[in-house]
Structure 1
Amino acid sequence: MSVDTAPLTARIDRRRLRDYRRSLPSTVRPRLAGILARVVLLIVFPLALLVMWLVIIDGSFFADGDGELIVILFPLAIPPVIGVVVFARAIRRRSGVRQYRLNGFAEANGFTYEPYASAPPLPGMIFTRPGQSSAFVTDILRRRAGYALEIGNHTCTTGSGRSTTTYRWGYAAIRLPIALPHIVLDAHGNNAIGRPRLPIAFAKDQRLSLEGDFDRFFTLYCPKGYERDALYLFSPDVMAVFVDEAARLDVELVDDHLFLYFPGRLATLDPALWERLLTTVEVLSQRLLRWERWRDDRLESSTDVTDEILNGFGSGRGVARQGRRLSVKEDWWWVLGAAVAVFGFVNLVHDVIAGWSS
């Protein structure tokens, strides 16, 4: 597949960049006044505190040497340094260079480009993470020709207040012609200290071992009873594609989508990454012709067939209920912790009552 990566590195026409920058939304290019207000606060407030302190404290405090002065000035110097860093990053973000280059790359390769959007209603696990309080996507490239393809960077926040956690994933979403069983490939190449980075932990009894060296690169999860279907979908030539082209990408088949995930950005300014990613997508798309012939023999009851039609997967061409979602790993630590806490509380009450009685 030929990929034109020249717009990612070519020299920029500054006049065209200025014109494009004006079209960027405030979520991507925040107002300069708001940035300056925060920076001025970080710089001016510590300086004001320092002046007030010098006016109030006798200068003889520093007569014994400069050690005390350094101890006093060091904490006050931290906010201005942070302010300078924040200002430099904000100016770079407002430049629009990243968005301009990605927009040019999209036009050169048959995509549309959107710099920012709310989180799409996709069925993948990074989009349906439990406890999400907010989510959005940036640098979204879409192509409708052939199999619909969407590539972007997803950011979500869980929790609230001081307990918030932010997660960032790059993703590529390929729309399939039919719905398939829920199958996940956990890539060992992007795990952290041997632990999966997947946003959802799946029950271990759904693991399926495949032939050859595939298990060295991926752990495959499929619903119980769908082992033969997984072996059909992931034939040796398909396994070879994933090992050769996507060994660091987590893979998910869910409903009528195939997702590739990476714990970081996939929509970047790196030409080599784009060439590998689009080559992988092209090779996978060629294998989808075989997957179109797959049928779920379990769709025998009228309830399942009716449900498939209502969900838009065609008459009887979808997946039976037991194959639509993998079982999530049950976490029993909180149950054990609650039991220990209750036991301790009961003993405490018993000891208090016993003490009063004696």
Structure 2
Amino acid sequence: MVERGTASTATRLDTTALEERIDRAALTAFRNRLPPSIRPNVAAIFWPTGLLLVAALVLLVFWTSLLGDDLLSPSDPGEGFAAWFLLLPYLGFVAVSAVLVVRALVRRTGRRQYRLHRFAAANGMTYAPVQPGPALPGMIFTPSGTALASDVLARGGRHPVSIANHRSTTGEGKSRERHRWGYVAVRLPVSLPHIVLDAKGNNALGRRNLPVEFARSQRLRLEGDFDQYFELYCPDGYETDALSLFTPEVMAGFIDSVAELDVEIVDDHLFLYSRKDLSTLDPATWRWLFSVVDALIEQVVRWERWRDERLGATHVTQAIGEAPVIHRPPPGVAKQGRRLTPRVEWLWIVAGLLVFLIGVASIIEDIVT
């Protein structure tokens, strides 16, 4: 059941802090409060990279002295080319090491964090330069591996919002993977079924942007132009609920505002995902993000009175001489609607089983013969 809410007013942002001249004294005072993960000491920067840089320079000098004649006055052009080609990896390593050192020193200045801190304060938000392992229910916040959110800007109120960049590492050894995301998290007034809107606009060469694929049986096709922009997934049996939540007006709002972002509704959160950083120093990005947030909040306030009928039926009781009382299900979602079912890669399972059976058959044949 859905009830229309009151539209929120547009957020007015003061983006002056993202571009204005920085006061050096204020920057120094702020920089001294940054955690070591953001502002490591100079020795921590120069020790590992500097050591490798010195080693590369020593090897470069060694090979240059060894190939001196071939480099300066080669008797054969082919030998001169081969000599310079031999030095390319060392030259490249020196250049890369120098770039890493310079980048680390630039990051250590704290200018980015200072601007975002000032921007957040000017707009009634809080700022955290780093936040380890945010405990959020979205699909990118995996419980395994390591995770870190950076440049976290948060706004309270009736519908709290946080915007941040997210880095995580999963797997071990050769299967180790690094993941990079930007996300927007909006706290909902009520828990809703697990619904995912996979934006088609950010898929590349047939590869989906999202880290998880869901069973095709959970795909819900909607009328109008919505399917041209999103693939909507909802738990089996919640199709009617999804249609009551995603009315034509709501669908039009999502197309207008977040057609290039993936959307996940899980528990009492709504997430927007991007493979690019969303917490940036670009004023245009922030204006766009909060126009998106304002548009979404206008939609989600309509969902405040949704209830899962599987937790109990709505009924009316009336005592003699008293007004009727409407009893509705409690807030929440039944177990079968809390999470979508991931897609099972049957092709790889069958292929692995065939390889196993062929191996077993080969062993049995060797034993018999």
Given the two structures, how large is their TM-score scaled by the length of structure 2?
Answer: 0.86
Q: 2:105 aligns with which of 91, 95, 99?
A: 91
Matches within 5 A, 1:123-272: 123-128=137-142, 132-272=144-284
Select which of 118, 127, 130 maps to 1:113: 127
Cα RMSD (Å): 2.2
Look up the match of 1:331: 345
Write the distance in 2 (CA, Å) between the matches of 1:68 and 1:327.
57
Using the alignment, how far apart are the partners of 1:178 and 1:294 within structure 2?
8
Range with greater deviation from structure 2 (184-193 or 7-16): 7-16
Partner of 1:15: 25
Displacement, 1:271?
1.1
Aligned residues: 340
Give how far 1:68 is off.
4.6
Aligned residue among 296, 299, 310 for 1:287: 299
Q: In 2, distance between residues paired with 1:35 and 1:175?
A: 39
Task: State the one-letter code of the partner of 2:55.
Answer: F
CA distance in 2, matches of 1:291, 1:137: 29
Report the counterpart of residue 75 of structure 2 in structure 1: 64
Equivalence for 1:308: none
Label 1:17 to 1:321 Cα distance change in 2 as closer, same or farther (>3 A).
same
Q: Which residue number corresponds to residue 309 of structure 1?
A: none
Deviation at 1:293, TM superposition (A): 1.3
Matched, 1:81 2:95: yes
CA distance in 2, matches of 1:279, 1:39: 43
Deviation sequence 1:114-157 (CA, Å, 0-9, x none):
0001111111111137xx31111001011112211111111111
Distance 1:142 1:353 in 2: 67
Change (3 A) 1:95 1:345: same
Unaligned runs of 5+ in 1: 302-313
Contact 1:188 1:194 in 2 (8 A): no
| SS of 2:311 mapped into structure 1 | coil
Residue in structure 2 matching 1:3, options 6, 10, 13: 13
CA distance in 2, matches of 1:317, 1:22: 46
Aligned counterpart, 1:311? none
1-structure distance, mates of 2:130, 2:264: 24
Question: Shift of residue 53 of structure 1?
Answer: 5.5
Query: Would the alpha carbon gap of residues 78 and 54 (structure 1) be closer, same or farther in structure 2, given more than 3 Å must change?
Result: closer
Gaps of 5+ in 2: 1-9, 314-327
User: Quick one: which amino acid aligns to residue 11 of structure 1?
Assistant: R
Q: Which amino acid aligns with 1:35?
A: I
Q: Following the alignment from structure 1 to structure 2, what is the Cα–Cα distance between the partners of residues 350 and 162? A: 33
Given residue 36 of structure 1, which amino acid in structure 2 is its aligned partner? F
Deviation of 1:60 (Å): 6.7
8 A contact 1:153–1:169 mirrored in 2:
yes
Query: If the length of structure 1 is used for normalisation, what is the TM-score?
Result: 0.88
CA contact (8 A) 1:38 1:83 kept: no
Note if contact 2:308-2:329 (Cα within 8 Å) is conserved in structure 1: no
Higher relative contact order (CA 8 A, sep 6+): 2
2:114 equivalent to 1:100: yes
CA distance in 2, matches of 1:71, 1:319: 64
Q: Could you tell me the percent identity over the aligned residues?
A: 48
Matches of 2:270 and 2:216, distance apart in 1? 22
Give 1:46 deviation, angstroms.
Answer: 2.4
Task: Determine the structure 1 residue equivalent to 2:47.
Answer: 37
Looking at structure 2, the residues matched to 288 and 42 of structure 1 have their Cα atoms a distance apart, in angstroms, of 53
| Cα deviation code 1:84-123 (max 9, x no counterpart) | 1111211121121111111111111111000001111111
Secondary structure at the aligned position of 2:38 is classed as coil
- Aligned-pair distance for 1:252? 1.0
Check conservation: 2:253, 2:299, Cα contact below 8 A: no
| Paired residue secondary structure (1:169) | strand
Give the partner amino acid of 2:363.
V
Query: Cα–Cα, structure 1 residues 347 and 81, in superposed 2: closer, same or farther, change >3 Å?
Result: same
1:299, 1:21 → 2: CA distance?
52
In 1, the alpha carbon distance for the partners of 2:257 and 2:120 equals 22
Contact 1:172 1:259 (C-alpha < 8 Å) held by counterparts: yes
8 A Cα contact 2:63 2:87, kept in partner: no
Question: C-alpha distance in 1, partners of 2:118/2:340?
Answer: 40
Instruction: Provide the C-alpha distance between the structure 2 equivalents of 1:83 and 1:241, rounded to a whole number of angstroms.
Output: 48
Note the C-alpha offset of 1:335: 2.0
Deviation of the 1:23 alpha carbon: 1.1
